[in-house]
Structures are given as C-alpha cells and as structure tokens.
Amino acid sequence: MTQGSSHTVRAGVPHRIVAIVDENSNPFELGCATEIFGLRRPELGRDLYDFSLCSPQPLTVMRQGFFTLTGVADLEAAEAADTVIVPNRREVDVPRPAALLDAIRRAHTRGARLIGFCSGAFTLAEAGVLDGRRAATHWQLSASFRARFPAVRLESDVLFVDDGDILTAAGSAAALDLGLHVVRLDHGAEIANVVSRRLVFAGHRDGGQRQFVERPVPDLPDESLAPVLAWAQEQLDVPLTVSDLAARAAVSLATLHRHFRAQLGTTPLAWLTGERLALACRLIERGESRLDIVARRSGLGTAANLRALMRREIGITPSAYRNRFGSDPREGRGRAAESDVGAGGRATG
C-alpha cells in the first residue's frame, strides 16, 4: 500500500462518485462500490457520498450473463464526477469501447480521482492514464499486465496502490480494502471504522497479495491468530511487546513470526505498530490535541515517535490530521501549535 491521495471532500459539498459498468463486469466489485460509497449511513446521520452508476450501453450484460443491468445513466454522468470508478473486465485482452476510454481520459484531464478494482487496472492502462504510474491488479493477471503495459510500474504483492489521483486494487475482495482506504482519506479513521464495522470487515488488512498466491497446503494448518489479536487490541495502551504476544499465544517467537507471515503477510511488530497508529488517529479525531497524551494512550510512547510514525506511515503530520479530521478543527489549535513544536521552537508536526 502507498498513501498519497490528494483529493479531499469539501465540507457541506457532496463528493460525487460515479461507477462505470461495462459488458462482462464482475458484479462483486460493483456491489463493493455500492456498499461502501452508495448506501445510506443512518448510524452517521448523513450520507458520505453522492453515488450513482452509468454505462456505455442502455442494456449491460454482467459477467457470465448472471443478469442484465438497465435503468442507469449513460456515460455523460461521469463528466461531472469527482471520482470515477472504472469497469473491471473478464476478458482483459478484449479492447474497451472508444467512448469509455475517452470518458476516462477526460475525467483524468479535468482532475477527477480514478479508481480501478481488480482488472480495472487494465482499463486504466488502456486509456493511457497509468503510464509511468504505479498500479495493482490481481496476481494471476500480473504477467499479462506487464507484457501489455510495460510503462506501468505494477506492484504485484500489495492489496492496493494509492498513487494520488489514481488508485487501484488487486483481487476482488481488495476492492473493500481500497474502498475503506478512500473513506479513511476522505472522512478520517473514525468514519472508516464505522463503515468497516457495518461491513463486518477488517478496517485494515496488513500484508499483500503474496499471502494469497497458490502454494502447497500444509499438512497441519497454523492455528488462528484471532484470539491473540483481539487480546492485543485491548492492551494497546500498555507496554506490549512481541514477546508478550508470543506468550499469550503460547508459542515461541519464531513460531509467532511464522504465523503472522502466513496469516497476515506481515510481522508482529508491524501489525502492533499499525494498530497503535490507528488508535492514535481515532484519539485525535475525538478531540485530543495533546500529542503526549495521544502517544501514551496509544502505546507509542512519545510525541516525537508519534509524529515520526504518522509522517512515515500515513504521510501527514498530527496537526494536519487534526485539522482535517478532528471533531472541531478550530478547537485547541493553540494547544496544537504548542504540541507540535520541537526543540528550538521549530514546528515539527
């Protein structure tokens, strides 16, 4: 995963997302987009997006003829979108309609954010907007993608790539990962957590596609990490170490690392740090402006460590994150300025 999207949702202005559906599109990704961006959020008391569908054809036959989509707008609807979700495709070697590719190019030229789920990266690449950019697609399609689009920097071992105004997800279920990432970028971690709970889906999955590549089935499958992960998430405010995780799981450090790599595609320390950062973001969103308190309650130790980790992992400073996602960006700005000043009076947050 790479974070760097520059798009923001303006207060009081609905962010318009239009998903383009084309012949033989996979309905699963369409369902993911509708669930994350299109459904009403009564638990939030507001809608997060203005979401709609469009298609180049009045009748669109979905993948394997499961059903035919009718009654949606034509491609002109994409002209006014802030974010355009491009169609995935079953036959990646079959060219897309010229009108569809032109619509994608126009959206890119006028500064709209573009999203491709799974094989949607092929559609973006065929439109010519991915040349020199980073992208993700399903691991089974990596060789074909590289052969057709050598100018694109394909990252084959991640769940999704955020390359600023163009974001791409790997396999079908990674559409949920990327969708939640977009909600997090637009509305903050607290809102993204609400949506992920509604989905009954992890707000952030560590690791990448490497964990899903076909491999021989082991004779004895590893035990689930779920119990120790749930326990650790309740202990983030205490000095929890990787050794503590191993002791809780009643396994050796080597075995714990092997389980994390096999099941999550990451290390215990990286997972623990990610969980602590997510908690820190939630605390900031809820109005805590004192970075030393945020760092202590999230188990990150010091304000300096919190600042360094947020810059490295999220790409934004604590004060900038507070101003963007805090419950009241004006509240405590004087304290925020003091909290983010480092040695010699220089702002470091």
Q: What is the pLDDT of residues 119-138, one digit of tens each?
A: 999 999 999 999 999 999 98
CATH of domain 221-342: 1.10.10.60
pLDDT confidence of residue 101: 95
Q: How far is Cα 88 from Cα 24, in angstroms, rounded to an integer? A: 8
pLDDT higher than 70, residue 11: no
pLDDT higher than 70, residue 308: yes
Confidence of residue 265 (pLDDT cuts 50, 70, 90): confident
pLDDT higher than 80, residue 37: yes
**77, 107 contact by CB (below 8 A):** no
Contacts of 115 (CB under 8 A, 6+ apart): 83, 84, 85, 86, 166, 167, 168, 169, 178, 182
**How confident is the model over 271-288, as a mean pLDDT?**
89
Q: Which residue has the higher pLDDT, 339 or 159?
A: 159
pTM for the model stands at 0.65
Confidence of residue 8 (pLDDT cuts 50, 70, 90): low
Domains 16-199 and 221-342 fall in the same CATH topology? no
pLDDT confidence of residue 329: 40
Mean predicted lDDT score pLDDT of the chain? 81
Q: How far is Cα 231 from Cα 249, in angstroms, rounded to an integer? A: 10
Domain ranges of the chain: 16-199, 221-342
CATH class of the structural domain 16-199: alpha beta
Give the distance, in angstroms, between the CA of residue 256 and the centroid of all CA atoms in the same chain: 26
pLDDT confidence of residue 151: 96
Q: Which of 32-46, 277-291, 324-338 has the lowest mean pLDDT?
A: 324-338
pLDDT confidence of residue 18: 96
Q: How far is Cα 180 from Cα 35, in angstroms, rounded to an integer? A: 11
Q: How far is Cα 333 from Cα 313, in angstroms, rounded to an integer? A: 23
Confidence of residue 9 (pLDDT cuts 50, 70, 90): low
**How confident is the model over 231-246, as a mean pLDDT?**
89
The fraction of the chain above a pLDDT of 70, given in percent, is 83
Q: How far is Cα 190 from Cα 283, in angstroms, rounded to an integer? A: 9
The alpha carbons of the chain give a radius of gyration, in whole angstroms, of: 21
